[in-house]
Structures are given as structure tokens and as C-alpha cells.
Amino acid sequence: MLNALEEVLRETNPLAHQLYLGAIENLQKRRAAFLRRLETRIKAYRDQQLFGELRASVFLVPFLFRIGDLGNLR
């Protein structure tokens, strides 16, 4: 349906058709930029969670084992 309407627009008003194509291209670029930002934020959030867990585990290691038990880990 949209392809048929686009074809009619192209035939009846080429200038409007070019503006339409420009608008579509602009929206595609904005969508791609939004998805890149979203992906970056998700990765940063995951890294923050991972490093937070690592910091917590490093902090807890001395409390989980007695000093003598650390030599027996293999």
C-alpha cells in the first residue's frame, strides 16, 4: 500500500517525493543513532554491574576464608 502511494507521489509531485525520501532517510539515521546510544548505555550498565560484583567479591574474599585456608586453595 505504501509503495503504491509513494509511486503516486513520485509521479504527481517529484519535489514532494524527494522531500519524502529525505525525511525517511533522516528518520533512519536518527533511529540508527538512537540504537547506538541505547546499546552503549546497556553495555555501560552491564559493565557497571559486573565491576560492582567483582569489587564486592574482592572485598568479601578475606571474610570468606581464614588466613590459613588461603594457602590450601588449589
pLDDT at 27 over 50: yes
Question: What is the C-alpha to C-alpha distance for residues 12 and 18, in angstroms, rounded to an integer?
Answer: 12
Question: What is the C-alpha to C-alpha distance for residues 12 and 61, in angstroms, rounded to an integer?
Answer: 74
Q: What are 33-53's pLDDT values in tens digits?
A: 999 999 998 888 888 777 766
Residue 21 amino acid letter: L
For the chain, the average pLDDT equals 78
Mean pLDDT of 3-8: 86
